[in-house]
């Protein structure tokens, strides 16, 4: 029941009733949404939320609604609201599944009697809730902060793959840090978290058949500090945590280069049988798996089998970048083996754009990070594409020459440059339906702490999340910059650190 109605009912004289007026709300927060919504239609009237919100479900399985209510209940509570499940559909906030909508599409109707979120599937209902949650966060601290202007917001994503990558190999980050990042990204409708789990500097995921990968290969990180790794139990918990927020985790095992940590853990994986030292520097391109040894393929079989068993989502990333000391013939043999292995496990393989040299086809996703030529080769063979060029999407690039951490090999990456591009405009001749989405990437050579992560990620990740969600025709840099001002205040309220060069 709304505050307005409560107030009115409690008034007893006709005279006072005449004085009962609705709290005002102009709905300006709707214009500050990030990613911007497809259409917003303001209507007459308001709906005022009380601290306790009743919610109802239609078309959800009991299991789905239980998980949903737990997650959105936690998110609401963090904003000062308690949600209470109602059996009746006429609640303050009602979620329903409408089969004629696409899975991630939603319609958020704020009426004077309550709020309805209709979606094609639970994922869409969840993104509709993120929109509502963001409106409340944007209104926080303003007069009538819990009063919502009546409106109809219709929205759906431009791309199905809206991803952020975190490199936990160069520097390791504990599960709690990754969960916190998931909580931050979900507000911006990110639906994929790509974890770079192995590299020259560390192996970060327990593989039961090859325990030394983590016992030895996980010991250190860049700079020689202690490393770390996820046990399978921790990793499964992380994946479930992400899944309950409609985020799929894409695990990456990088091969055949970027494998020093594995080679250091098992001498038999090296062509000469000698294990190299653990590596704590930041050079690339010096390590390779040995294509001529049978044990290499046993290793890859075991690793991808255990990884697939921990991956409910559709994708597994096989790396494939910067294998500068692998011959072309060996590269193709090893990459093709990994691609086939991942496919045989019922997953879609993803690889960096160099994998175009191998047997990529329509069952493969090529991730454009550096080479347009490789990317053209991949899509001409029918591969799907993730468009995440280093010059726009690598959030480990410094903002400018004054930025204390980060790299600059792909150029400085200002807030404007991270936003002002479009995935379908970077590769000649590709058909739009071959592009599945984009990704903001954070490599961690210079990123050692949570505040380092936040400084490089925020606010640039908001821009890439918007590119992934909002249609190109609707976006503009001027609108983004205007809305960003509200979102910096929102990040402050959520105690999320960010680069303050804008101020």
Site for ligand ACM, rule CB under 6 A: 321-322, 352, 369
**Active-site residue, selected from the candidate residues 322, 354, 439, 445:** 322
Alpha-carbon dihedral of residues 451, 455, 460, 465, nearest 10 degrees? 0
Q: Closest CB to ligand ACM among 321 and 466? A: 321
Q: Closest CB to ligand ACM among 116 and 200? A: 200
Q: 192-196 and 198-199 as β-strands: parallel, antiparallel, unpaired?
A: unpaired
E strand or H helix at 503: none
Closest residue to ligand ACM, judged by C-beta, is 321
Q: State yes or no: is 277 an active-site residue.
A: no
Q: At what angle do helices 460-469 and 477-493 cross, to 10 degrees?
A: 120
DSSP character string of 58-106: ES--HHHHHHHHHHHHHHHHHTT-EEEE-SSS-SSEEEEE-TTS-TT-E
- In angstroms, what is the minimal distance from the CB of 308 to ligand ACM? 22
Say whether 307 sits in a helix, a strand or coil: helix
Q: Closest CB to ligand ACM among 321 and 330? A: 321
Sequence-separated contacts (24+) of 428-434 with Cβ below 8 Å: 428/372, 428/376, 429/376, 430/375, 430/376, 430/379, 430/385, 431/379, 434/379, 434/383, 434/384, 434/385
Q: Closest CB to ligand ACM among 119 and 338? A: 338
Backbone angles phi, psi at 134, to 5 degrees: -65, -40
- In angstroms, what is the minimal distance from the CB of 435 to ligand ACM? 18
- In angstroms, what is the minimal distance from the CB of 72 to ligand ACM? 35
| All residues at 6 or more sequence positions from 51 whose CB lies less than 8 Å from its CB, including other chains | 80, 81, 82
Maximum CA pair distance of the chain? 94
- In angstroms, what is the minimal distance from the CB of 367 to ligand ACM? 8
Q: Closest CB to ligand ACM among 95 and 352? A: 352
Q: Which residues of 327-354 are buried (b: 16+ CB within 10 A; e: fewer)?
A: eeebbbbbbebbbebbeebebbbbbbbb
Q: Closest CB to ligand ACM among 201 and 486? A: 201
Spatial separation of the C-alpha atoms in residues 379 and 451, rounded to whole Å? 38
Q: Which residues of 18-43 are buried (b: 16+ CB within 10 A; e: fewer)?
A: eeeebeebebebbbbbbbbbbebebe
Query: H helices of 100-174, where?
Result: 122-139
Spatial separation of the C-alpha atoms in residues 335 and 325, rounded to whole Å? 14
- In angstroms, what is the minimal distance from the CB of 369 to ligand ACM? 4
The tokens for 352 are 């960096």
Spatial separation of the C-alpha atoms in residues 130 and 137, rounded to whole Å? 10
Q: Closest CB to ligand ACM among 61 and 372? A: 372
- In angstroms, what is the minimal distance from the CB of 257 to ligand ACM? 9
E strand or H helix at 438: strand 435-442
Q: Closest CB to ligand ACM among 322 and 466? A: 322
Spatial separation of the C-alpha atoms in residues 493 and 140, rounded to whole Å? 9
DSSP state, 434?
Answer: G
- In angstroms, what is the minimal distance from the CB of 177 to ligand ACM? 21
Q: Closest CB to ligand ACM among 169 and 239? A: 169
| Chain centre to alpha carbon of residue 393 | 13
Burial class, 64, CB count within 10 angstroms (exposed 0-12 / middle 13-18 / buried 19+): middle
- In angstroms, what is the minimal distance from the CB of 235 to ligand ACM? 22
- In angstroms, what is the minimal distance from the CB of 252 to ligand ACM? 10
Q: Closest CB to ligand ACM among 352 and 421? A: 352
Alpha-carbon dihedral of residues 401, 402, 403, 404, nearest 10 degrees? 120
Spatial separation of the C-alpha atoms in residues 186 and 174, rounded to whole Å? 19
- In angstroms, what is the minimal distance from the CB of 352 to ligand ACM? 5
Active site residues: 322
């Amino acid at each position: 029941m709304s505050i307005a109605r409560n107030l009115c009912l409690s008034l007893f004289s006709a005279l006072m009733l005449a004085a009962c007026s609705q709290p005002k709300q102009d709905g300006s927060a709707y214009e500050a949404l990030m990613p911007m919504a497809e259409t917003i239609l303001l209507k007459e009237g308001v709906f005022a939320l009380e601290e306790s919100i009743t919610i109802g479900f239609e078309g959800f399985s009991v299991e789905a609604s239980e998980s949903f209510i737990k997650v959105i209940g936690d998110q609401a509570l963090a904003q000062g609201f308690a949600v209470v499940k109602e059996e009746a559909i006429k609640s303050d906030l009602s979620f329903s599944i409408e089969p004629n909508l696409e899975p991630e599409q939603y319609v958020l109707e704020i009426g004077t009697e309550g709020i309805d979120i209709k979606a094609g599937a639970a994922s869409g209902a969840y993104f509709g809730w993120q929109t509502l949650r963001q409106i409340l966060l944007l209104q926080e601290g303003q007069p009538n902060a819990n009063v919502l202007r009546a409106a109809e917001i219709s929205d759906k994503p431009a791309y199905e793959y809206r991803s952020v990558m975190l490199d936990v190999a160069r520097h390791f980050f504990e599960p709690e840090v990754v969960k916190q990042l998931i909580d931050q990204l979900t507000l911006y409708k990110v639906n994929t978290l790509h974890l770079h789990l192995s590299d020259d500097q560390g192996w970060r995921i327990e593989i039961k058949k090859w325990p030394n990968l983590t016992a030895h290969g996980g010991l250190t990180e860049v700079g020689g500090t202690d490393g770390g790794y996820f046990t399978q139990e921790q990793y499964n918990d992380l994946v479930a945590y992400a899944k309950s927020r409609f985020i799929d985790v894409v695990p990456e095992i990088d091969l055949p280069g970027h494998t020093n940590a594995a080679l250091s853990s098992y001498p038999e994986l090296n062509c000469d049988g000698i294990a190299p030292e653990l590596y704590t520097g930041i050079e690339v391109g010096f390590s390779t798996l040995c294509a001529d040894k049978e044990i290499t393929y046993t290793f890859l079989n075991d690793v991808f089998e255990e990884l697939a068993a921990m991956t409910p989502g559709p994708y597994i990333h096989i790396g494939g970048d910067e294998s500068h000391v692998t011959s072309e013939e060996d590269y193709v043999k090893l990459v093709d083996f990994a691609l086939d292995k991942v496919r045989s496990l019922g997953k879609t393989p993803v690889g960096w754009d160099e994998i175009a040299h191998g047997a990529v086809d329509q069952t493969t996703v090529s991730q454009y990070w550096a080479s347009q030529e490789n990317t053209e080769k991949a899509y001409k063979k029918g591969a799907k594409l993730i468009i995440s060029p280093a010059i726009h999407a690598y959030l480990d690039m410094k903002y400018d020459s004054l930025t204390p951490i980060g790299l600059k090999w792909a150029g400085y990456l200002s807030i404007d440059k991270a936003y002002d591009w479009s995935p379908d405009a970077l590769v000649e001749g590709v058909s739009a339906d071959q592009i599945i989405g984009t990704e903001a990437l954070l490599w961690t050579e210079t990123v050692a702490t949570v505040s380092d992560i936040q400084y490089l990620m925020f606010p640039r990740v908001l821009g890439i999340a918007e590119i992934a969600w909002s249609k190109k025709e609707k976006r503009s840099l001027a609108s983004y910059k205007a809305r960003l001002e509200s979102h910096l205040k929102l990040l402050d309220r959520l105690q999320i650190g960010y680069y303050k060069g804008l101020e």
